[in-house]
Amino acid sequence: MLVDLREIVQEVNTAKDLQSALDIIVSRVRDAMNTQVCSVYLLDPDIDSHVLMASEGLRKSSVGHVRLQVGEGLVGLVASNAEPVNLEDARAHPNYHYLSETGEEEFNSFLGVPIIHHRKVLGVLVVQHREKRSFDEGEEAFLITLSAQLSGVIAAAEATGAIQGVSPSGQRKSDTSFNGVAGSNGVAIGHAVVVFPPADLDLIPQRACSDIDKEIEFFNMALEAVRKDMSELSSTLETRLRPEERELFAVYLRMLDDDALGKEVVERIRNGQWAQGSLAEVAKDHVRAFETMKDPYLRERAADIKDLCSRVLFHLQNRNVTKTEYPHDTILVGEELTAAMLAEVPKEKLLGLVSVKGSGNSHVAILARTMGIPTTMGAVDLPYRQLDGRELIVDGYNGQVYSNPSDQLRNRYREVIKEEEQLVRGLEGLIDLPCETLDSHRMNLWVNTGLMSDVVRSLDHGAEGIGLFRTEVPFLLSERFPSEQEQTAIYREQLAAFAPKPVTMRTLDIGGDKALPYFPIEEENPFLGWRGIRVTLDHPEIFISQVRAMIRASEGLGNLQIMLPMISNTQEVTGSIQIIKRAYRELREEGLEVRMPPIGVMIEVPAAVYQTRSLSRLVDFISVGSNDLTQYLLAVDRNNPRVASLYSSFHPAVLQALRYIVEQAHLENKPVSICGEMAGDPGGAVLLMAMGYDVLSMNATTLLKVKAVIRSLTFSAAKQLLEQVMTMDDAQMVRSCIDMALYNAGVDRLLRSSRNN
C-alpha cells in the first residue's frame, strides 16, 4: 500500500485543476483499497454545505449536485468532529441521511475521514462497501495518511479556483480571503505585481503578454542560444565524456527542437501567456510526468528537463525586453519579498506588500513599517503566481489578503483608510510638543532608519535622535560591498540631517534572514549561525572600512554613536572596541578632526541579558534588540509564520528580561535604549517607560502614535500598570490588561490596535 500511497500523491500532484485531482483520488483510492465506492465531499462555505465533488461507485449524475448541510449526515459528523467514522452498517447509525440520487442504498459499510489543512476541515474522503464489514485498522490508517497528504494539494487547488472567483462547487464568489500574519499596519487597495527572484522556474508567475510575436521571437532567440551552448559544451567535453553521456547532449538538443518542448511553449505564448510563464508551465508538466514514471531511469530524466528549461530561462531573463510595469496602485506580491524588490518600485506607486514567506518580525516587514506600507506576511496558502494584475486588498492590521473584492468590501476598507488618514492628520499637532506624561515625566523618542527617506520622514515627525541606523540596508540594495568612500557619503547624509542630534549606527548585521546577494551565507540554522558581529569580526577588513567610513563621515558633526549587534560574550566587545579605536587613530593620523564615538552593545541574546552588568562596564550605552531577544528567549523563529502566534514580546519571560537589563545597566550608570519593534507599540512603550528605559527608538510612522499615548497617561499610572502585568503569567493576559488600561485612559481604538507582538 505504501507504493500506492506515493504513486497516488504524485499523480494527484500532476493534476491540472481541482476536479482532475479529485477524479484521480477517487478512482485510484477505490482500486487501491479494493472497495466499491470512493467519494470526496468538499465544504463550500458560500452555501454552507458539503458538496459531493467526485465519486467512483456512486451515480455519476449525482456528482456536483448532492449537497449536505453542514453537520448533516455521516459526512457532517466526520467533518464536525474532525475524526474518522468507521461503520459496519451505516444505515443503522442515527446520523445516516439517505441520498436517493446517489444510489448508495446498496452499500452498507462506511468509512469517512476528514480532510484537514492548517486545522481547517476542508471536506471528507469516504469509502463504502457493499458487504457489512468494518474497515480494518490498516485500511483506516491508509485513508487517514492519504487524506493528510492530499489536503495541501486540495487546499492549493481550491485557492486557485477562488482566485478566479469560484467556490469549490463552482458557485460564483467574491471576497476570497487568505490568512497571513500582520506585517505593517494599514490597508491598501490596488493591483498585484508578482515579483520573483531570477533563475527559478518554480517561482515564475503567470502574466499576460501584450506583443505575442515579439515574445515568440524572444523565446526562439533564447532557444537558439541554449542550442549553441549545448553543442559547444558537448564538443569541449567530447574527449572526456563516455558515449552514453554524449548521447545525453544529443537528447537535450532534440528536446529543444521546434517539434518538442519549443512547440508547446510557443502554443502557450500564442494563447497570450508571456514566454517565461509558458516555459515554466511546460517545464512543470514535463517534469511531473517524468517524476511519476515507474522506471527509475526515466524518473531521473525529470532533472534533465528542469536543467534544460532553466538554461532557456536564463537566456530569457538575461535579455528580458519586457520591463516590469508598476501601476500607480502597486501591491507587490512575492514568495519571499526582499529589500531589493521593494527598492525597484517607484515610491509613489507602492501601496502594499504581500509575502508568502516570513512573518511580522522578518526584516522585510520591519522595512515596510519604516516606510509605512501596509503589509501582510506569511500568506502561505496564497496561489500568488496567479495573482498578477488582479485587484487585491491588503489588510496589514489583521494579516489578511482579499482578491475579488465585492463593492461592499472595497467600500468598507476605503472607510478604514479614511479613518487612518484622519488619525494621522490629527496627530500632526503633536510634532512640536514634548513627549511627556500628564505628570511631566519626559521620555526620549528616537527613530530607526535604514534609508535616507526614513530620515526625512523622521525629522518631519519630530524625532529627537536616531537610535538604530540599520547600515545593512544600503548594503542589501547594493550589487557589491560599498566602498569606504561610498559608505562615507551614505553615513554623512544621515549624520548631517540629524546633527546635532545623536545618530546611532549599528555595524553591519547580516546573516539570519538578511543575506547579501553578493555574499551568500548558506547555513542549516542561520539564526544561530554566522550573524551580525560574528561575521564582521571574522572579516576585519569589512569591519574596519565600515567604522572608518562612519567616523570619517562624522567629522565636524560629532553626533555619531556606534552600536554592536548580536553580542554574546565580552570578547566580542573588547575585540570590536580595539578595531574601532584603531580606525579612529588612523583617521586622526590622517589629520581628520574627529572625536572617538560613544560605543554601545545590543542586548539581543539571552546570554547577554545575564551579562548586562559586565557588558555595561565595557561600553557607553546599552540598547535592547527586543525582536531578536524575543525570538531567542522563546525559541520562536521570528521569520516563520507557522509559529508567529507564539512570538510575543509581552511574554512574561521577555518582560522579566527587559526589566532586569535596565536595572543592571543603571547600576553602572549607563543609559539604556530599546530599538526593537516593541518600543513602537503604544502599549509596549508605556511598559518600557515604566521600567525606566531612557530612550525608545522606533519607526517614524509610529512615533506620533506613541507620543499621543504617553501624553494621555501619568507616569505613576504607567508604573502601576507595569506592577500589575509583572504578576501575570500569560502574554495574552498582559496584552488585554494593557489594552484595558489604555481604553480607560481614553486612548483611541486605532492607537491601541497594533500588531500582535
| Closer Cβ to ligand PEP, 99 or 674, answer by number | 674
Beta-strand pair 330-334/621-624: unpaired
CB of 628 to Mg ion, least distance (A): 4
With respect to ligand PEP, which residue has the nearer C-beta, 464 or 604? 604
Interface region with Mg ion, contact rule CB under 5 A, candidates 375-383, 399-407, 603-611, 639-647? 603-611
Annotated catalytic residue within 363, 435, 461, 651: 363
Q: How far is the CB of 158 from Mg ion (least distance, A)?
A: 38
**Residue 338's binding partner out of ligand PEP, Mg ion, none, with CB under 5 to 8 Å set by partner kind:** none
Residues 469-498 that bind ligand PEP (CB under 6 A): 470
The amino acid at 716: S
Residue that the C-alpha cell 500582535 belongs to: 756
- CA distances to 51, 113, 121, 426, 494 from 145, rounded to whole Å, are 22, 10, 15, 56, 57
Nearest to 72 by CA among 89, 105, 47, 55: 47
Segment contacting Mg ion (CB under 5 A): 64-72, 367-375, 597-605, 712-720?
597-605
Rank residues 389 and 526 by Cβ distance to ligand PEP and give the closer one: 526
690 with 715: CB under 8 angstroms?
A: yes
Least separation in angstroms between residue 738's CB and ligand PEP is 20
Task: Name the residue type at position 459.
Answer: L
Task: Give 375-441 as a 3 state SS string.
Answer: EEECCCCCCHHHCCCCEEEEECCCCEEEECCCHHHHHHHHHHHHHHHHHHHHHHHHCCCCCECCCCC
In terms of CB distance, is 139 or 628 closer to Mg ion?
628
Q: Which is nearer to ligand PEP, 514 or 707 (CB)?
A: 514
Helices 296-318 and 261-270: crossing angle, nearest 10°?
A: 50
From 38, 209, 435, 675, active-site residue: 675
23 binds, among Mg ion, ligand PEP, none (CB under 5 to 8 A by kind): none
Measured CA to CA, the distance from residue 678 to residue 685 in angstroms comes to 7
Q: Which is nearer to ligand PEP, 519 or 527 (CB)?
A: 527
Q: 620-649: which residues touch Mg ion (CB under 5 A)?
A: 625, 628
The residue type found at 395 is D
According to the binding rule CB under 5 A, does residue 281 interact with Mg ion? Answer: no
Residues 514-527: b if buried by 16+ CB within 10 A, e if exposed: bbbeeeeeeeeebb
Which is closer to ligand PEP, CB of 84 or CB of 358? 358
- Is residue 369 part of the contact set for ligand PEP (CB under 6 A)? no
Burial of 683 (0-12, 13-18, 19+ CB in 10 A): buried
Rounded CA-CA distance 299/296 in Å is 5
Reported as half-sphere exposure (CB side, CA atoms, 13 A), residue 573 has a value of: 22
Is 675 considered catalytic here? yes
Rounded Cα distance between 469 and 20, Å, is 53
CB of 181 to ligand PEP, least distance (A): 16
The CB-of-470 to ligand PEP minimum distance in angstroms stands at 6
Q: Binding ligand PEP by CB under 6 A: which of 73, 112, 123, 676? A: 676
Grid coordinates representing 273 are 501567456
Under the binding rule (CB under 6 A), the answer on residue 463 touching ligand PEP is no
Q: Please name which of 637, 608, 635, 638 lies closest in space to residue 624, comparing C-alpha atoms.
A: 608
- Counting other chains too, the contacts that 490-496 makes at CB distance below 8 Å and 24 or more residues apart are 490/452, 491/549, 491/550, 491/553, 491/554, 492/553, 493/452, 493/455, 494/449, 494/452, 494/455, 494/466, 494/469, 495/553, 495/554, 495/557, 495/559, 495/560, 496/557
Closest approach of Mg ion to the CB of residue 665, in Å: 18
Check if the beta carbon of residue 326 is closer than 8 Å to that of residue 346. yes
Taking CB under 6 A as the criterion, the residue among 468, 644, 655, 657 binding ligand PEP is 468
Answer whether 501's CB lies under 8 Å from 554's CB: no
Q: Which is nearer to ligand PEP, 78 or 674 (CB)?
A: 674
CB of 343 to ligand PEP, least distance (A): 17
Nearer to Mg ion, 437 or 630 (CB): 630
d(CA 542, CA 484): 9
For residues 205 and 350, what is the distance between their CA atoms, to the nearest angstrom? 19
- H or E segment at 641? none
Beta strands in 32-72 (DSSP E): 37-44, 49-56, 67-69
Q: How many residues bind ligand PEP (CB under 6 A)?
A: 11
| 168 vs 676 by CB, closer to ligand PEP | 676
- 468, interface contact from Mg ion, ligand PEP, none, CB < 5-8 Å by kind: ligand PEP
Q: How far is residue 164 CA from its own chain's centroid?
A: 23
Q: How far apart are CB 676 and Mg ion at their closest, in Å? A: 7
Partner in contact with 8, chosen from Mg ion, ligand PEP, none, beta carbon below 5 to 8 Å by kind: none
- Distance, in Å, from the CA atom of 382 to the CA atom of 163, rounded to the nearest integer, reads 9
**Smallest distance from ligand PEP to CB 497, Å:** 21
Residue 676 binding result from ligand PEP, Mg ion, none, given CB thresholds of 5 to 8 Å by partner type = ligand PEP
Residue nearest ligand PEP by beta-carbon distance: 625
Beta bridge partners of 187: 395
363 is catalytic: yes
Residues near 94 by beta carbon (within 8 Å), at least 6 away in sequence: none
Cell numbers 461503520: residue: 87
Site for ligand PEP in 602-661 (CB under 6 A): 604, 625-628
359 versus 627: smaller Cβ distance to ligand PEP: 627
As measured in angstroms, the least distance from the Cβ of 565 to Mg ion is: 6
- Please check whether residue 662 is in contact with residue 613, taking contact to mean a CB–CB distance below 8 angstroms: no
Min CB(360)–ligand PEP separation in Å: 11
**Which residues of the chain form contacts with ligand PEP (CB under 6 A)?**
366, 468, 470, 509, 604, 625-628, 675-676
**Which residues of the chain form contacts with Mg ion (CB under 5 A)?**
604, 625, 628
Active site residues: 363, 675
